[in-house]
Amino acid sequence: MPLGFLKSVKEQAAKTASPSENRGVGRRSATRANHAKMLSEIEEMGIGMFWATDAEGCLTFLSQRAIGDLGLPAGELIGQPATRIFSDIDPEPGAPQQRSIGFKLKTHSKIEEHVVAIAPKKGSVGENGTRWWRLNGRPRLGMGGRFLGYRGTAVDITSHYAHEMKVALQSQIDELTGLTNRRKLGEKLTATLSAFRASKRSCALMMLDLDRFKHVNDTMGHPSGDELLKQVAARLKSIVRDSGEVGRLGGDEFQILLPDIDDRGTLGDLANRIVQLLSQPYQINGRRAIIGTSIGIAIAPYDGLDADELTGAADMALYAAKELRGGTFCFFNSGLRDAASKNALLGDRLRDAVDSGELTLAYQPLVDPVNNEVRCFEALLRWHDDEEGDISPSHFIPVAENDDLIVRIGEMALRQACADAAKWPESINIAVNVSAKQFARPGFRKSVAAALEASGLSASRLELEITESVFVGDPETVDTIFRDLKTLGVKLALDDFGTGYSSLGYLKHGHFDKIKIDQSFVRGCTENGDTNPAIITAIVALARALGMQTVAEGVEAMDELDLVKQRGADLVQGFIYSAAIEQDELLAKVADGTMRFSPSGPPRHRAERISIFRKVGLIHEDHYYDVILRNLSKTGARITGLAGVPVGTEVVLDLGHGQLVVSQVVNATENSQGLKFETPLISDGSGGFMTRHRISPYALAEAGIPLAALGEGAFPLAKWREARKSAPAFIQLDIGV
């Protein structure tokens, strides 16, 4: 019963009054007593509780039920600041914000239906655990409007609130993995981007798709597939930790929201760690399974300003990563939209080319670097299209791998390579690449045996080059296929070693005869501070310990050749000896007895360059020029389109989409300039280069470019076009595009 009310009743009863006054006082006293009794009955029925504070916000009253509900003695509650007893509940991100209870008490505001958590003292929670009350209260004012404190009511809504929280949690959490579900991810992304747009902050989004998960699901059963997804979720959370939000969209698709990260170097490192960790073997019901993942990355505000735009950009980047080879990551760029439509057309033309037999083979030698003698040729696919000309395998092979077309191409290549190799000297082997789909297809052993029988080629001369992607799936099935192939007598080579899924465990099984050191470890291995020489040494030592040969791929310069020879590579493959040659040229060498290739190449490795031809911008002082970018490397570029540019000039190269690179002209001709970058570019994960950071479109908007104008492709740096403060220093040539 409220003490204030009882005190008033007693004071009034004690007053001396006239009979008439006493009758009035008696009626008023009885009314007050009835009110007090009614409030006590209300409390006993559990309908409500009562509380009061003084002007300083400390509790002066808690009704008996409230004290009992808290589970602490009244002496530990009365006199305590109300904010120590009533704690605000953390709202969900993006949910409507309400003023805190502390703010309302401090500003003497009306308190209406305010839900609080009850935590009277840290570590001192009642037997019933955490409780939630719904508070109502009104400020009391004295003479002259002086604030006296609060009087209010409370209702215990613990059961109802706990149920609501459980229902809300179930609607936000993926039941299988415990991660945030698709619906909640969408809400969080929308709310985050909306808030960040106002504060001009960045947010990265990663889209993940598991490679060959369906194979595990089909061969090991759906319960095993569910267990695998749980383990994937746990690994993702262990990597991302507090840096972002990990969620499952459904099936084998996951999403990672990473607020306030736009450093593409950092994001690339994180994506690479995710690829590596998710590729490690899983133990499921006593069996091992191996999968991989592909990742697409998009960053707001550069790649999209709202949830649909950013999700679409990340999806396109994911598609590009899967097309590239799987088991990798790719950043979104505006060219991916055009690439998607081109690939669809390319797929149609490729199917026609396969039907009409337009794909051919060329052969690149694998040479003993000690005596320069050829030991093996690798069969490489070639396609000359009447409309497009020569199309690189790096373009059409990923398109073929999207469906069973790669199986048809692989079988054709195997038959043709065996038939061609049968015409070579017995001392020279033939190496044929095998895709993961072709390898796992039922009857693969029979197709190999049929190719050998039809050609008359000895099985010991056939080497099947298999990438680490074949290990994805059920290891027992993979081991069975390996054993079946070895019974034929063919050799097995592990291609692109160290770049894909973990396969060290398979080396000890003795299936492989050869390890091919991926060219990514060879290129740049002679640069100061490069760690690749140590990796090459380790791979060679590992191979020798297991009785295997090693091949160094992609050797192009004499200093690289010297290094891999010193580190013990058995064979060398690359332009340093020869590009791939046609069968007619190869047979001519056989006839002449010239099956040796002398090394020929630049004395030193040059930084990797990409030959391109596209329009970009060059900024000098307050002028913006149009130039053609012809070559691009991590450390520099070659441009044409300007005349009169002296060596030593400081410029800024605009690569588009907010990528500005501070550069210096280090050499120049009449209409061509070589640029050296102040800060090296980084890999974009798909064979290209990009800047680590980009100029935010918000910054460009502040420079006078409205966000609505920021469409596909490069951000137009209009301020350099509009502000002509001085005469241009260079002559703009007609670049013709």
Give residue 498's pLDDT.
Answer: 65
Burial 293-311 (b: 16+ CB within 10 A, else e): bbbbbbbbbbbbbebeebb
**Strands of 36-110, DSSP E:** 49-53, 59-62, 86-87
* Side-chain half-sphere exposure of 48, counting CA atoms within 13 A: 16
pTM: 0.60
Nearest-angstrom CA–CA distance, 659 and 715: 9
Helices marked H in 356-474? 393-400, 405-421, 436-440, 444-455
Number of other CB atoms surrounding residue 179 within 10 Å: 24
Give residue 519's pLDDT.
Answer: 85
Give residue 290's pLDDT.
Answer: 85
DSSP 233-246: HHHHHHHHGGGSEE
Nearest-angstrom CA–CA distance, 713 and 357: 38
Nearest-angstrom CA–CA distance, 173 and 186: 12
Contact criterion met (CB below 8 Å) for 369 and 571? yes
Burial 78-100 (b: 16+ CB within 10 A, else e): eebebbbbbbbeeeeeeeeeeee
Higher pLDDT, 252 or 199: 252
Structure tokens at 154: 């409370």
pLDDT at 85 > cutoff 90: no
Compute the average pLDDT of residues 380-395: 85
Compute the average pLDDT of residues 6-12: 37
Q: What is the pLDDT of residues 555-581, one digit of tens each?
A: 999 999 999 999 999 999 999 999 999
Q: What architecture is domain 46-164?
A: 2-Layer Sandwich (3.30)
At residue 386, the 3 state secondary structure works out as coil
Question: Packing angle between helix 222-240 and helix 213-220, nearest 10 degrees?
Answer: 140
Comparing 54-58, 146-150, 189-193, 688-692, the range with the smallest average pLDDT is 688-692
Number of other CB atoms surrounding residue 736 within 10 Å: 7
Nearest-angstrom CA–CA distance, 259 and 257: 6
Give residue 91's pLDDT.
Answer: 57
The residues of the chain that CATH labels 3.30.70.270 are 173-333
Contact criterion met (CB below 8 Å) for 533 and 555? no
Nearest-angstrom CA–CA distance, 151 and 137: 6
Using a CB cutoff of 8 Å and minimum separation of 24, what contacts does 254-257 make?
Answer: 254/179, 254/207, 254/208, 254/209, 254/210, 255/185, 255/205, 255/206, 255/207, 255/208, 255/314, 256/205, 256/206, 256/208, 257/185, 257/188, 257/189, 257/192, 257/203, 257/204, 257/205
Give residue 231's pLDDT.
Answer: 95
Give residue 610's pLDDT.
Answer: 55
Q: What architecture is domain 609-732?
A: Beta Barrel (2.40)
Q: Quick one: pLDDT band at residue 686, thresholds 50, 70, 90?
A: low
Nearest-angstrom CA–CA distance, 687 and 633: 11
Q: Which residue's entry shows tokens 């949690």?
A: 169
Q: What is the pLDDT of residues 523-539, one digit of tens each?
A: 778 777 678 888 899 99
Q: What is the pLDDT of residues 400-457, one digit of tens each?
A: 887 778 999 999 999 999 999 999 999 999 999 998 889 988 889 999 999 999 999 9
Nearest-angstrom CA–CA distance, 703 and 705: 6
Higher pLDDT, 69 or 444: 444
Give the bridge partners for 587, in sequence order. none
Give residue 96's pLDDT.
Answer: 46
Q: What architecture is domain 173-333?
A: 2-Layer Sandwich (3.30)
Nearest-angstrom CA–CA distance, 663 and 648: 10
The residues of the chain that CATH labels 3.30.450.20 are 46-164
Give residue 447's pLDDT.
Answer: 94
Give residue 122's pLDDT.
Answer: 44
pLDDT at 18 > cutoff 50: no
Q: Quick one: pLDDT band at residue 717, thresholds 50, 70, 90?
A: very low
User: How deeply is 584 buried, as exposed, middle or buried, from its count of CB atoms within 10 A (0-12, 13-18, 19+)?
Assistant: exposed
The residues of the chain that CATH labels 2.40.10 are 609-732
Give residue 16's pLDDT.
Answer: 37
Q: pLDDT exceeding 70 applies to what percent of the chain? A: 81
Give residue 434's pLDDT.
Answer: 94
Q: Does CATH number 1.10.579.10 belong to domain 360-592?
A: no
Helices marked H in 401-474? 405-421, 436-440, 444-455
Give residue 54's pLDDT.
Answer: 94
Q: Which residue's entry shows tokens 């410029």?
A: 651
pLDDT at 5 > cutoff 90: no
Using a CB cutoff of 8 Å and minimum separation of 24, what contacts does 128-132 make?
Answer: 128/71, 128/158, 130/158, 131/69, 131/70, 131/156, 131/158, 132/89, 132/156, 132/157, 132/158, 132/161, 132/162
Q: What is the pLDDT of residues 189-247, one digit of tens each?
A: 999 998 888 788 889 999 999 988 887 888 888 899 999 999 999 999 999 988 999 99
Nearest-angstrom CA–CA distance, 426 and 60: 101
The residues of the chain that CATH labels 3.20.20.450 are 360-592
Give residue 504's pLDDT.
Answer: 64
Number of other CB atoms surrounding residue 646 within 10 Å: 10
Comparing 9-18, 246-255, 633-642, the range with the smallest average pLDDT is 9-18
Nearest Cα neighbor of 346 from 295, 300, 391, 306 is 391
Give residue 331's pLDDT.
Answer: 92
pLDDT at 149 > cutoff 80: yes
**Strands of 301-347, DSSP E:** 329-331
Chain mean pLDDT for the chain = 82
